[in-house]
Amino acid sequence: MHELSIKMLIEEAFFEVKHKDVLGRIGRLKTAHGVVETPAFAPVINPIKNVLSPAEIAEMGFPLLMTNAFIIYRNYREVGAQIGVHKILGVNTPIMTDSGAYQLMEYGYVDVKPEDIVRYEEELGADIGVILDIPTRYYMPREQVVLEVEETLRRARRSLALRREAKMLLLAPVQGGRNYDLVEYSAKALAKLPFDLYGVGGPTQIMEHYKFSELARLVLTAKRHLPLSKPLHLFGAGHPMIFSLMVALGVDLFDSASYALYAKDGRYLTPQGTYRFEDLSYLPCRCPVCSKHDVEELKELSAREREKLLAKHNLYVILAEMNTIKQAITEGELWNLVEMRAGSHPSLKSALITISEHVDFLEEHSPITFSKVTGIFFTDTYSLGRLEVYRHVKRLRDSYRLTNKRVVLLLPETEEKPFHRFGPISKFLKRLLQEFRSLTKSVEILVYTRYFGLIPITIDDIYPLSQYEVAQKTAKENVDFITKCIREFLLKNQAFIKAIVACVNEEFLKGYFTGKLKRLSSSMGIPIELLYINVDELHKDETFYAILSIIAKYINLPK
């Protein structure tokens, strides 16, 4: 009967994905008390005393609440189990219960057995219960972390064996912290166990130190080795400026008491950062709290009333950011939002560089097309890690081959796109086809661009190669990227290529770029001819015939 009950539980733990972008997804998580649309934030509620009532928070629009089963166990025990967690909080919405792991991390001890707390979560009628794991603390020696990871896995297996209630979904956290090999080991071991949800544990101290690169690597390491069909929860993540990034990496659920803790400390949340309330002259928000009060009115309130309103504001900001993320997912704009938020803190920008190391995994599981086609805005060199860039470079490297092309002509990027239809490159092509059409059979024309590397002129109207804008000057990172793309292209096609003719725009970091091209020519043994041009004059006699005269060194021009 127990095996049948478990089978029914697994079948009912239904998670349906409606929309995807990068690894982010809008999903429907079915629970005993209703459906939770993800991504979702679960405000953590102290069951004894909270700045806002659970009913107030639920009425604001939060689909999931979180409370602490250990605190209820310690204070109410049998009475709590008889009443149930929903009546204790006074709501009928889905509730997730923690098992005391946070208290274990903070104080090093909780007076309850792991088996007993899981049973108690079932008795409380929680919709989602969390096993009593051992969170990895930031400065814990590796030897101790190894022991704690193994103990968490032992508790996970034991919790599954003891579960009785088919209505409660069970969540197991991945542990290991900054020991990423242990995170991988933990995730792989838990993936073999039939949990309904998985979590990434121990990130609180990482986030307190603004180590967002470490956080991104932690989440991605776990995500790579967990079942993609199951929701992923990130414990203790409560600042809206990191939500879009974490959702893009595959996080579906968040929880935190940040809204209340920040309010108690007089801190005012925004999607870009945090203000000390006493430093504010204006309220940069139009939530129901900020639209009804100005700064001076809030300052005149009692400390308790101001704390309550700040907590409400913080929750409204969190809720609005979740809705912004969902809208971005439906439009295929999630990564644009990630980059926008990354501009608010240097550590978030550093995290984007870390993510680029995992771009193969993101690309494999991210949708290629969307019903709505939108342009791409490149604003900084960390955009070189975008999936669209990776896909184009990979496609060019793996699938694009030259046949009977002996000279490669490199032309600089222009603002007008597609290049073959508009602007100076189109004028150059038109004249070339009119006067030397047969030459195009022997010359491969590529446009070198700051963010897509090399774009063959024959495919430059394929999305997104002409649907992008660049809002920055050329940086050395762009030139390094272009040179790398040229090298890869030559390696794949060097059997055909006799020479490269590179037209260099005066504004394109000329000395740095040409120096790299010369070194590339020397190392590969392929002549690279450099011609300094004004790109707007490509089609004019002087530039046009200068290009042809160089090509003529390697190909006989038609009479």
pLDDT number for residue 483: 96
pLDDT at 370: 66
Q: For residue 432, count other CB atoms closer than 10 A to its CB.
A: 20
User: CA nearest 456: which of 429, 423, 476?
Assistant: 429
Q: What is the DSSP letter of 136?
A: P
Label residue 10 by pLDDT band (50, 70, 90). very low
Q: What is the pLDDT of residue 110?
A: 61
The per-residue pLDDT for 290 is 97
Select the more confidently predicted residue: 401 or 323: 323
Token representation of residue 49:
């005393």
The pTM of this model reads 0.91
Backbone angles phi, psi at 81, to 5 degrees: -65, -35
Question: Structural domains in the chain?
Answer: 2-361 (3.20.20.105), 387-551 (3.40.50.10630)
The residue with tokens 């999630």 is 334
Could you give the residue ranges of the DSSP H alpha helices within 54-141?
54-59, 69-75, 78-83, 85-89, 101-107, 114-124
Find the mean pLDDT for residues 453-459.
Answer: 96
- The C-alpha atoms of residue 421 and residue 107 are separated, in whole angstroms, by 67
Structure token digits, residue 533: 């041009």
Answer whether 249's CB lies under 8 Å from 355's CB: yes
Cβ atoms of 138 and 177 within 8 Å: the answer is: yes
In the set 21, 98, 127, 133, the catalytic residue is 98
Q: What is the pLDDT of residues 74-123, one digit of tens each?
A: 888 889 889 999 999 999 999 999 987 666 555 455 657 888 899 999 99
Q: Confidence band (pLDDT; 50, 70, 90) for 139?
A: confident
Which pLDDT band holds residue 29 (cuts at 50, 70, 90)? Answer: very high
pLDDT of residue 555: 86
User: For residue 44, what are the β-bridge partners?
Assistant: 66
pLDDT, average across residues 342-355:
92
pLDDT at 300 over 60: yes
Q: Residue 198 and residue 225: Cα distance in Å, rounded?
A: 11
Angle between helix 334-342 and helix 346-356 axes, rounded to 10 deg: 130
Mean pLDDT of 455-482: 92
- Give the mean pLDDT of 374-399: 91
- Share the mean pLDDT of the chain: 91
8 A C-beta contact, residue 243 and residue 321: yes
* Whole-angstrom distance, CA of residue 219 vs CA of residue 213: 10
How far lies 364's CA from each of 23, 160, 335, 391, in Å?
Answer: 9, 32, 16, 10
pLDDT at 12 over 50: no
Task: Tell me the per-residue pLDDT of 164-216, one tens digit each, with 9 for 90 and over.
Answer: 766 899 999 999 999 999 999 999 999 999 999 999 987 888 888 899 999 99
Total residue count of the chain as it appears in this document: 559
- Is 98 annotated in the active site? yes
How does pLDDT run across 438-450, given as a tens digit for each residue? 888 899 999 999 9
Provide the β-strand partners of residue 36. Answer: 29
Determine how many CB atoms are found less than 10 A away from the CB of residue 419.
24
Chain position carrying tokens 């699938």:
399
pLDDT digits (tens, 9 = 90+) for 257-270: 999 999 999 999 99
Mean per-residue pLDDT for 60-69?
97
Residue 9's pLDDT is what? 45
